[in-house]
Amino acid sequence: METVLVLTISGKDRAGLVEQLADVIAAHGGNWEHCRMAHLAGRFVGLLEVSVSGQRQQNLQAALGTIEDLDVIIGEGELAEPEAQGHFDLEVVGSDHPGIVRDVFKALAAAGVNVEELSTKTTNAPESGRLLFEARARLASSPDVKRDAIQESLEAIAQDLMVDIRWLA
């Protein structure tokens, strides 16, 4: 029986780290499925989904713990059939300040919207040099959730947050 493992990794960034991780996974019969990885504050961090047969799971988990200077947290995922959902993408851009993520995603949660992917960054605004906050999100909702209702709740907070909230095609 296949087991799905969800790995959270963090280590000092260095050349060859992904190769070493991939080598350990392959050597123990694991299959690298999905991942999101990035360099953050001098560390290499990521989330990784790996499938492995149940009888090889313990050996793989033990081997992952031997990778030098890499912290690995392992959780078990589920093999599940995806539900029928509506998907849409959202972008948020504005002057950076505390509370943007909290307020936008509070409104989305209240509307019954699930966050499937989220990436954020701050950059210097071209004209002023002030910090500009940018977020992109892949969202999902059940078919009965109306996009117009979501739009209204976001428009209600956008002005207070001083951000532009746009739907992406």
Domain covering 86-168: architecture: 2-Layer Sandwich (3.30)
Express each pLDDT in 94-143 by its tens digit.
Answer: 999 999 999 999 999 998 999 999 999 999 988 888 999 999 999 999 88
Q: What confidence score (pLDDT) does residue 80 get?
A: 63
The C-alpha angle 30, 32, 37, rounded to 5 degrees, equals 135
- Identify the residue with better confidence: 17 or 150: 17
Residue 137 neighbours by CB under 8 Å, 6+ apart: 89, 90, 91, 92, 115, 116, 117, 118, 119
Q: Domain extents for the chain?
A: 2-76, 86-168
Q: Which residues pair with 11 in a beta bridge?
A: 44, 70
Q: Does 101 or 148 have the greater pLDDT score? A: 101
- The per-residue pLDDT for range 16-50, each reduced to its tens digit, is 999 999 999 999 999 999 999 999 999 999 999 99
Q: What angle do CA 143, 148, 153 make, to 5 degrees?
A: 110
Instruction: Please list, in sequence order, all residues whose beta carbon lies within 8 angstroms of the beta carbon of residue 98, skipping any fewer than 6 positions away.
Output: none
Per-residue pLDDT band for 78 (boundaries 50, 70, 90) equals confident
> Reduced to 3 states, what is the DSSP secondary structure of residue 75?
strand
2-76 and 86-168 share one CATH topology?
Answer: yes
Instruction: Write down the pLDDT at residue 145.
Output: 85
In 3D space, the residue among 78, 76, 21 whose CA is nearest the CA of residue 45 turns out to be 21
Q: Which CATH superfamily is domain 2-76 in?
A: ACT domain (3.30.70.260)
In this structure, what is the dihedral angle of CA atoms 26, 28, 29, 34, given to the nearest 10 degrees?
-50
Is the pTM higher than 0.85?
no
